[in-house]
Structure 1
Amino acid sequence: MRGQLIKRAKGSWSIVLSYKDPATNKWMKKWHTFHGKKPDAEKYLNELAGQLQNGTYVPMNKFTVTTWLEYWLEEIFKPKGAAATYKSYKDTVYNHIIPEFGMLALQSLSAEHLQTYYNKKLQTLSSTSVLYHHRVLHTALEHARRFKKIQHNPCDDITPPQKAVFEAELPDAQMVEGVLVEINGTVMYMPVVLALTTGMRRGEICGLTWSNVYLDEGFIHIGQAMKKNHENSLVIDTTKTKRARDIPLTEECRVTLKAQRAAQAEARLFFGQAYQNNDLVCCWEDGRELDPDYVTKSWTKIKKKLGIEKKTRYHDLRHNFATALLTMGKNMKVVSDLLRHADIRTTYNFYAHVEMEAKKEAIQGLDEKLFNKGKKISGFTSR
């Protein structure tokens, strides 16, 4: 087996592997293209030669990074993946990854290319965003390895950026009061009250139906959410974690729900046959579905109109719900169940610091209680 390195252009090399086919006893050639420095090209040549000798060689194919990512998105991920995740992956692939090295041959993509890409992106994006890019690439390239389009996943040779620590800016009571006064009588009132008092996600709120609301018993059943499908149409599907839960209602929420139901009864009379009876708790005046994206964008507009400088997102109302319960001394397991986290470790990762602060507050004054108001006690000896 012989190997040859041929320079084609600046930073471009042809690798020629000559070997004898054991079946025909004839000499065969395998051609590869490599983009990079000569030492790296020589290293790649030696790797290919070793693969030929030990039987792990993957034949050269015509896939570029672009054509593989497009194939992976449309043929592998899309048929089984969630529509929202597909859209997010597609945005990442087309807006970030392909413009950087989409023209490279798939088999020539190296850890060095990825490291350069991550370093560049970290100049303008958060480490959490770049970590997301890494996960998209790793998943796509792992499928390429399984499909024998590449011999090795270069993402395995990279230490990805650490996820940035996120601290939500929670609303205070004054901000909540101001927002509720502003949105009173609008389609946003019910979604905000539900987020504040139940910790529901925006899709769960927009997908909540009256058949899952038990006002007399004082709870709601959460097992579905409003989402967008691959055709960008609103549909009701199972919740994010597929864990159905019964969530108790506060008195404020129960009163608001009763008022909402009465208002919808009047709207049905007003619109008549034009009313779209989808049984939704949160909807437009004529019964049409409320888009979760609209809820998020409206929240931002409301804050801007009121001159609120805090970076509180609509989703942070969910965090506010959990934080309030923990600072009241409620059990972490109970809070995790109310949030419908699939794993309690997720709750701990988000709220462990809140629980610790609550514990510190709980023991304030304990010394005074146990040790006669903090008076120094002598006479202890060690044995």
Structure 2
Amino acid sequence: MGKGYMAKILIGRYEATIYREGDGYTGAISLGFGPDGVRKRIKRKARTKREVKDKLIEAVGDLEKGIKTETNHTVAQCVNDFLTYGLKGKSDNTLKVYTSIAKNHIIPRIGRVRLKDLNVDHVEKLLQVIAETKSTETVRRTHNLLVRSIRMAERRDRVGRNVAALVDPPEGVAGRPSSSLSLDQAAKLVVVAQDPKWRLGAYVVLSLMSGIRTEEARMLRWTDVDLEKAVVYVLRADRHRGDTKTKKSRRGLSLPQVAVAVLAAHKAQQAGERLAVGELWQENDLLFCHRDGAALDAHQVRAEFRKITRAAGLGDRWVPRELRHTFVSLLSDQNVPVERIADLVGHANTRTTETVYRHRLRPVITGGAEVMDTIFGTGSETPGSKSA
């Protein structure tokens, strides 16, 4: 069916033409000619004249607001733009997390929706579906990614309203509460982790015996460690700009002798790997890295850690952050006061320690490395051989 019906109308100060085309109607507004002599037009299509007129009115409204409406710009394009340009300076881990959320949740479900057509219902239904099987943290990150992506599109005049910001994300599935290893379990883990076949055995021992965060351990450099003085300095984390979580998280920690011995062996093993790869070695000065010196991400650490816990007969349900919970629990069992524990784990105050680790603390009345030496022994003794 060709063009038949044609009408001219005024929309604000613009003259529009609506004409029949195919099985519906097309509306066009002439914006004159550009510097290149090419005629500039806004066109909208719909099944009825009324729908075309409404779309033209909306287009004129956007035009007068300075919004450069791109009718085919989709949610997928919007989110991908943000992943490309909106996360500059963020850690590699942050980029991987948001990319995974976009790939697995947003794009498959609403990626084809045109950004200008996205509404609150789309966003609420998306988040509700995710909340049925995923954690609250995943739901909130998905919402955050949508809000920030559309906000960037707003700044670029591609959309007039951020509908995602109008939605309150629902609660997701309750995650498994963090647990801590018992003394017997921790002792088994320390013994198994010292086997040279585990490239992250030293990571496990250091994390358990110092209480550092997993994001801090991944960023440790050899210049941060003094094995002669048995000290490790926590100065950065795998976070935005490499900053630690709080100012108090920047701290120096004395190391128990077991951890010093394990780190010394790890350093020697890493030196051998460096010689083996030669020019392929990536000089990052990292304590814990791939065989070529490249940085590790959280997923890789978690996978290796679970291999070690399985070998220790502890199963594979454990995650690296629970080494920190174990550190707090063991110190509390040894009557270390909460104020001292807060200092050791880098909390700004005891309230944080009491809130996050309330199930690990006991109300009592003494320091980290000395206690760990008492628990696990200092030399050839088997960790855990001393009574707690």
Distance 1:269 1:49 in 2: 67
Whether 1:330 aligns to 2:340 is no
Q: Which residue of 2 aligns with 1:319?
A: 325
Whether 1:302 aligns to 2:302 is no
Q: Which residue of 1 aligns with 2:217?
A: 205
Q: Which moved more, 1:144-153 or 1:52-61?
A: 52-61
Q: Which residue of 2 aligns with 1:177?
A: 187
| Structure 2 counterpart SS, 1:162 | coil
Q: 1:15 to 1:307 in 2, by over 3 A?
A: farther
Please say if residues 116 and 159 of structure 2, whose CA atoms lie closer than 8 Å, have aligned partners that are also in contact.
yes
Please say if residues 58 and 150 of structure 1, whose CA atoms lie closer than 8 Å, have aligned partners that are also in contact.
yes
Distance 1:137 1:87 in 2: 16
Q: Which moved more, 1:113-122 or 1:165-174?
A: 165-174
Q: Which residue of 1 aligns with 2:162?
A: 153
The count of aligned residue pairs is 329
Please say if residues 206 and 259 of structure 2, whose CA atoms lie closer than 8 Å, have aligned partners that are also in contact.
no
Query: Which amino acid in 2 is paired with 1:119?
Result: Q
Normalised by the length of structure 1, the TM-score is 0.67
Q: 1:273 to 1:162 in 2, by over 3 A?
A: closer
Whether 1:64 aligns to 2:74 is yes
Distance 1:350 1:263 in 2: 32
Whether 1:98 aligns to 2:107 is yes
Q: 1:30 to 1:349 in 2, by over 3 A?
A: farther
* Counterpart pick for 2:146 among 137, 148, 151: 137
Q: Percent identity?
A: 21
Deviation at 1:30, TM superposition (A): 6.0
Q: Which residue of 1 aligns with 2:119?
A: 110
Deviation at 1:17, TM superposition (A): 9.8
Distance 1:312 1:266 in 2: 26
Deviation at 1:313, TM superposition (A): 0.8
* Counterpart pick for 2:233 among 221, 225, 245: 221
Distance 1:121 1:273 in 2: 46
Deviation at 1:329, TM superposition (A): 5.4
Distance 1:279 1:319 in 2: 28
Q: 1:343 to 1:89 in 2, by over 3 A?
A: farther
| Structure 1 counterpart SS, 2:251 | strand
Distance 1:66 1:215 in 2: 50
| Structure 2 counterpart SS, 1:91 | helix
Distance 2:67 2:300 in 1: 48
Please say if residues 128 and 161 of structure 1, whose CA atoms lie closer than 8 Å, have aligned partners that are also in contact.
no
Q: Which residue of 2 aligns with 1:73?
A: 83
Deviation at 1:188, TM superposition (A): 3.2
Query: Which amino acid in 2 is paired with 1:223?
Result: L
Whether 1:87 aligns to 2:96 is yes
Whether 1:358 aligns to 2:362 is yes
Query: Which amino acid in 2 is paired with 1:245?
Result: R
Please say if residues 136 and 172 of structure 2, whose CA atoms lie closer than 8 Å, have aligned partners that are also in contact.
yes
Q: Which residue of 2 aligns with 1:261?
A: 264
* Counterpart pick for 1:249 among 248, 254, 269: 254
Q: 1:49 to 1:320 in 2, by over 3 A?
A: same
Q: Which residue of 1 aligns with 2:35?
A: none
| Structure 2 counterpart SS, 1:358 | coil
1:197-216 per-residue CA deviation (whole Å, 9 max, x = no partner) reads 21223353344344322345
Q: Which moved more, 1:116-125 or 1:267-276?
A: 267-276
Please say if residues 196 and 317 of structure 1, whose CA atoms lie closer than 8 Å, have aligned partners that are also in contact.
yes
Please say if residues 171 and 312 of structure 1, whose CA atoms lie closer than 8 Å, have aligned partners that are also in contact.
no
| Structure 1 counterpart SS, 2:325 | helix
Query: Which amino acid in 1 is paired with 2:260?
Result: L
Distance 2:144 2:30 in 1: 37
Q: 1:274 to 1:347 in 2, by over 3 A?
A: same
Gaps of 5+ in 2: 1-9, 33-39, 366-388
Q: 1:342 to 1:108 in 2, by over 3 A?
A: farther
| Structure 2 counterpart SS, 1:220 | strand
| Structure 2 counterpart SS, 1:247 | strand
1:17-64 per-residue CA deviation (whole Å, 9 max, x = no partner) reads 98999xxxxxx9965679xxx9xx99xx59x66993996473531411
* Counterpart pick for 1:52 among 51, 58, 61: 61
Deviation at 1:111, TM superposition (A): 0.5
1:100-145 per-residue CA deviation (whole Å, 9 max, x = no partner) reads 1211111110001111112222233233212211111111111112
Please say if residues 208 and 224 of structure 1, whose CA atoms lie closer than 8 Å, have aligned partners that are also in contact.
yes
Across the aligned residues of Structure 1 and Structure 2, the Cα RMSD in angstroms comes to 4.7
Please say if residues 245 and 338 of structure 1, whose CA atoms lie closer than 8 Å, have aligned partners that are also in contact.
no
Query: Which amino acid in 2 is paired with 1:91?
Result: S
